[in-house]
Structure 1
Amino acid sequence: MTFNDRIFGVLLIVLAVAYGWGATQFPEPFGGAEGVGPETFPYLLAVVLGVASLYLIVRPDPDNAWPWSRTGIEMVIAVLVLIVYTALLQPLGFILSTLLAVGTLCWRMGATPIRAYVTGGIAGVVVFVIFNYALHLALPLGLLSFLEVN
């Protein structure tokens, strides 16, 4: 059913527009510097998502059907995990909320709980270090704010 891909494509375009609009809400960098700023990556993601969405609308898969079986349930769980992740990002901080989100998603995909949450913890720490120290883009520490180096 090509109709399913088209519905999904329209929903993803709405998400891309909302994501791009959200990027415009970032405050201006100090000194009005132009170039790469905190909004650059979200703009890039919004454009890629928009193009991919248009592709789904223009060239849908003719044999596509909604996954109402276990796969559909897992997709709903993944979306709920990501919604909870965004809600916990500020209070728990990036590292802990990423540990929980990535760990839960890995576990749902078949990893043992220990391996899943170790993977989530490693992912949280590695991405935090890359963003904070290599890219100089601050991510929230939340409950781990005692680790902050001034």
Structure 2
Amino acid sequence: MTFFNDRIFGVLMIVLAVAYGWGTTQFPEPFGGTEAVGPETFPLLLAIVLALSSLYMVVRPDPDNAWPWSRTGVELIIAVVVLILYAMLLQPLGFIISTTLAVGTLCWRMGAVPLKAYVTGAVAGVVVFLLFNFALDLALPLGLLSFLEVS
């Protein structure tokens, strides 16, 4: 029976990869429309890697794995819920606040002291935001912090 765990998970991840890949095609066309690398390039590459990795899990499952029904299983469910909430709150709360909450919660669930976990989340959110906005010139949503936006 344990052979089917990887296969079930692999099929679910293939479905996710297809949905994610389809979602990348829904991005608006960049101004000019002639760029070889657009906003969908990196997410599309992630979808392809996810699909190939998942296909490997379906074709060659691990012979000895069982679903973690213990504390590990609960932690995995918490992580999935945190990531879903992160995606839902990214636009209204903004990148920095959402990232602080998500990274902080995940660090805390992995055993960090709550204060250090959320400080790590805040630093990660600010650093990645600054990298994307200024080094890569890619805008991330500010959400509740939109008053910080420079005109």
Instruction: Please say if 1:105 is aligned against 2:106.
Output: yes
Identity of aligned residues (%): 79
User: Distance between the aligned counterparts of 1:66 and 1:93, measured in 2?
Assistant: 35
* Paired amino acid for 2:103: V
User: Distance between the aligned counterparts of 2:34 and 2:120, measured in 1?
Assistant: 37
* Paired amino acid for 1:91: P
* Paired amino acid for 1:122: V
User: Distance between the aligned counterparts of 1:131 and 1:41, measured in 2?
Assistant: 14
> For the Cα contact (< 8 Å) 1:4–1:65, is it kept in 2?
yes
In the TM superposition, residue 33 of structure 1 has moved relative to its aligned partner by 2.5
Matched ranges for 1:1-150 at <5 A:
1-150=2-151
* Paired amino acid for 1:113: P
* Long gaps (5+) in structure 1: none
In the TM superposition, residue 113 of structure 1 has moved relative to its aligned partner by 0.4
The CA RMSD over aligned residues, in Å, is 0.7
* Long gaps (5+) in structure 2: none
The alignment covers a number of residue pairs equal to: 150
TM-score by length of structure 1 reads: 0.98
Q: Deviations over 1:65-112 (max 9, x none)?
A: 000000000000000011111111111100000000000000000000
Q: Deviations over 1:13-35 (max 9, x none)?
A: 00000000000000001011222
- SS of 1:84's partner is helix
User: Distance between the aligned counterparts of 1:141 and 1:54, measured in 2?
Assistant: 37
User: Distance between the aligned counterparts of 1:70 and 1:25, measured in 2?
Assistant: 38
TM-score by length of structure 2 reads: 0.97
User: Distance between the aligned counterparts of 2:41 and 2:133, measured in 1?
Assistant: 16
User: Distance between the aligned counterparts of 2:47 and 2:94, measured in 1?
Assistant: 24
> For the Cα contact (< 8 Å) 1:104–1:116, is it kept in 2?
yes
* Paired amino acid for 1:67: P
**4+ residue runs of structure 1 moved beyond 3 angstroms?**
none
Q: Deviations over 1:38-70 (max 9, x none)?
A: 111110110110111011011110001000000
